[in-house]
Amino acid sequence: MLPIVVGITGASGAIYAIRLLEELDARGQNVDLVVSPLGVRLLSEEAGVTPKDLVTETTRLLPINDLGADISTGSYQTRGMIVIPATTGTCGRIAAGTSDNLLVRAADVTLKERRKLVLVLREAPLSLIHLRALTTLAEAGAVILPAAPGFYHAPKKIDDLVDFIVTRVLAQFEITTDKDVHYHGV
């Protein structure tokens, strides 16, 4: 099974990234993980963990400044990439093609190779600059998946809201969970 690249940035929502990694690990999915400097801070402040705490048998951690890492080249095969949570700054750098760190470079490679790139945006409100960058990314093939959970499944706790988003992200890679939520309303 080809790996999925996961990037964590500094937008609030560490719980989304942690839950996603748990779900991928439970399925034996190999993950190449890259965490931005503000993502490191986010994990510490919101969850009390370090990026190294997220390493498992199926998840390897790559240094953000290693632009020579295998995920920085299109010849390294992956199923695609998920940036969760995704800051608007990171989305802007991806849209501009700056490739100034490994996370942004891996996203750039994902787009150029026409692989699935899912950006779980977790910022609000959005300025016109943000919307234009997101439009550029969508036109380039990225999936913009805001961390905006639904409420039609009558969530009882925060975990239900987190699972709603993570299930939607996994569905982009045709990965199902026992937490799949379906709308049964009119």
pLDDT single digits (tens) 133-168? 999 999 999 999 999 999 988 999 999 999 999 999
Q: Tell me if 176 is assigned to some domain.
A: no
Element (H, E) at 82: strand 80-86
Does 116 reside within a domain?
A: yes
CA distance 127 to 3: 34
| In a domain? residue 49 | yes
Task: Provide the CATH number for the domain around residue 25.
Answer: 3.40.50.1950
Whether the predicted pLDDT of 181 surpasses 70: no
Looking at the structure of the chain, the number of domains it has is: 1
User: Is the residue at 8 inside a domain?
Assistant: yes
99-121 tens-digit pLDDT? 999 999 999 999 999 999 999 99
Cβ–Cβ < 8 Å for 53, 25? no
Helices (H) and strands (E) in the chain, counts: 6, 6
Question: Is residue 142 a contact partner of residue 118, using CB atoms and an 8 Å limit?
Answer: yes
pTM over 0.75: yes
The parent domain of residue 161 ranges over: 4-171
